[in-house]
A and B are shown apart, each in its own frame.
Chain A
Amino acid sequence: MTRDIAAVALGLAVAALALSEALGLPIGTLRSPGQGFFPLWLGVLLLALSLVLLAQTLRARAAARPRDDSRIGQVVGLVAALAVYTAVLEAIGYPIATFFLVLYMVKITHPQRWPLALGISLLAAGGSYLLFAVWLKVPLPPGSWRS
């Protein structure tokens, strides 16, 4: 129920954004539809669908499913780690950044013993660098500190 209300809210928010943006573009006429014509009607459609979902949700009163949020902190942590990774990738280079990202995943997200964790991190960072950068010639950033 709460999930569906959140889904309705999301739908309404995207519809509102689409409508306000589309109205800022030339809509044109049916004879000669403009840039905003298609997005405008999509906004209307999404608005209508969100209201249908709202009606369905209110009528259904479905039994709330048990929510398991016990590991939500891990999800937030991993997203933060990925954000940091993206930000520092070009500066510190692919091999080092990837080593620490993988280490984070095998020590914090899915904890393993240290020897295994270090081994996996080395293998993932070094192996993928060899495979993609050296063999397949993907120009992965080596790190600006090296130049």
Chain B
Amino acid sequence: MEILSLLGSGFAIALTPENLFYCFVGSLVGTAIGVLPGLGPPATIALLLPVTYGIPATSAVILLAGIFYGAMYGGSTTSILLNIPGEAASVVTCLAAVGSFIAGTIGVLGLMLLAPPLASFALKFGAPENAALLILGLLMVGYLGGASMTKGLMMAAVGLLLGSVGLDPIQGTPRFTYGVFKLSEGFDFVLVAMGLFGIGEVLANVEQKEEPEVITTKIGGLLATREEWKAAAAPMARGSLLGFIIGVLPGGGAIISSFVSYALEKRFSRHPERFGKGAIEGVAAPEAANNGAASSSFIPLLTLGIPGNASIALIFAALLIHGIRPGPLLVAQQPQLFWGLIASMYIGNVMLLVLNLPLIRVWVRLLQVPYGLLAPFIVVFVLVGAYSVNNSAFDVGVAVAFGVIGYGLRKLDFEPAPLVLAMILGPQLEASVRRALIFSRGDVFIFFERPIAAVLMALAVLMLLSPLARWALSRKFWEIVGPVRAEK
């Protein structure tokens, strides 16, 4: 079997001491920031991007991917410890860690099996197909990304505009630079992400009144009983599958997959009244779902070159910095990167399982550190990270400015994620649209005549026409999901 030998070569890469080290660091840092409130995975990946400039691309991706899926494990620990009182919490944490491991591993398996054929299919795409795919992707990010589709799409439009600052992707001449030389290469994506996610989150947290979360949970025995395993097995399987499917969709991602999974478990449960009180299926399914989604959200990145969420967009940026453009050619042209990453994700999931079970007491301690003491360190990391991009104080100012913008956007209930995704995809979308129009001599129907493009555009149109249906659905959906949000 060819796939086994490819996977074997992947393990040969992932098991080198350096790459094992980066995988371990990524998993550890990811778990820590997942446990800690106030610093999300995108911010952390943005902070560590400059560190990855000096290491090989494969190691960089292994490290950053570890942070991303590690954060899913850590986040589970926090939400369980904060929401489930008493002795039950430690058993549930153990179940969630095992569920996360199973879902994460199934997700990597799916990624491994689906990505190569999908990538060879995507090789048939020309400019019109690419344009249609990017339009559909951005629509989905706006659609799934937040409470308001209109606001999500507005952010995407602003992101595309920001992405158009700098060199015109077809003619290579500068625009919107206002004579500022530094703008001729456009806004530095890393600075924008650091500002929006890092400083923006700190500023938003400053405004919150500090209410220290008191964790009263005593960490007792971790081992679940046979009945508890039985109760958790089917929800874990459902959560893994659902998470995997939602993770593939642009804008889907981990958070929405756990909400949907929780809502479905509650909807079809025989005892919905136990939900919110530590019901095992109410924890096992969503925690499995977010890990399944974390694995599968690499599929659109590695096969189509479309990042589906902000963390993946930063991994996209890391690849670009290393001179690798993610897309259909990646699997064929960078086999060591693709298979090395896959193998490292299998290893990382095992490491996370080991890290999470015995170290739970450490994570509980970490959770007790007040935010006021963490915030300065987050800020210092952002400032050093921003400075190190080009060794310039001007860049620190750019990151601070985007931090203020990010804070303002949060105040107006705008999500920064669609903006960041659109910004990084903008030049590609513009180039595809303009190439397609030049090719068709100005005939806009080129986007609807070729079969693949037509299907993608039809989906996009359906999605645009569906807000009414979504509105009807969402009221019921949020009624079920409402209590989870309040608890978190």
Contact B384 A106 (CB under 8 A): no
A42 with B150: in contact, given A10-B412, A98-B383 (CB under 8 Å)? no
Which residue of the partner chain A has the closest CB to B413? Answer: A3
A7 with B393: in contact, given A46-B158, A109-B375 (CB under 8 Å)? no
A35 with B150: in contact, given A7-B413, A82-B400, A86-B396 (CB under 8 Å)? no
Is B151 an interface position by the 8 A CB rule? yes
Q: How far is the CA of A29 from the CA of B206 in the complex (A)?
A: 49
Task: Please indicate the chain B residues that have their CB under 8 angstroms from the CB of A46 in the complex.
Answer: 154, 157-158, 161
Is B444 an interface position by the 8 A CB rule? yes
Task: Please indicate the chain B residues that have their CB under 8 angstroms from the CB of A72 in the complex.
Answer: 207
Contact B376 A75 (CB under 8 A): no
| Contact string against A for B residues 355-388, beta-carbon threshold 8 Å, 1 for contact and 0 otherwise | 0000000000000001111011101110110011
Contact A31 B441 (CB under 8 A): yes
Secondary structure of the B side of the interface? helix
Contact A105 B438 (CB under 8 A): no
A-B contact count (CB 8 A): 160
Contact A42 B400 (CB under 8 A): no
| Contact string against B for A residues 47-87, beta-carbon threshold 8 Å, 1 for contact and 0 otherwise | 00110110010000000000010111011001100110110
Is A101 an interface position by the 8 A CB rule? yes
Contact B383 A85 (CB under 8 A): yes
Q: How far is the CA of A42 from the CA of B325 in the complex (A)?
A: 25
Q: Which A residues, 7 to 28, have Cβ-Cβ distances below 8 Å to chain B?
A: 7, 10-11, 14, 18, 21, 25
Q: How far is the CA of A131 from the CA of B372 in the complex (A)?
A: 22
Contact B150 A56 (CB under 8 A): yes
Is B78 an interface position by the 8 A CB rule? no
Is B480 an interface position by the 8 A CB rule? no
Select which of A75, A90, A98 is within 8 A of B206 by beta carbon.
A75
Task: Please indicate the chain A residues that have their CB under 8 angstroms from the CB of B150 in the complex.
Answer: 49, 52-53, 56
Using a CB–CB cutoff of 8 Å, the interface residues on chain B facing chain A are 50-51, 148, 150-151, 153-154, 157-158, 160-161, 164, 168, 171, 173, 175-176, 199, 202-203, 206-210, 370-373, 375-377, 379-381, 383-384, 387-388, 391, 393, 396-397, 400, 403-404, 407, 411-414, 430, 433-434, 437-438, 441-444
Nearest 10 Cβ contacts at the A-B interface: A110-B372, A31-B442, A30-B442, A46-B157, A102-B376, A7-B412, A38-B430, A86-B397, A105-B376, A138-B388
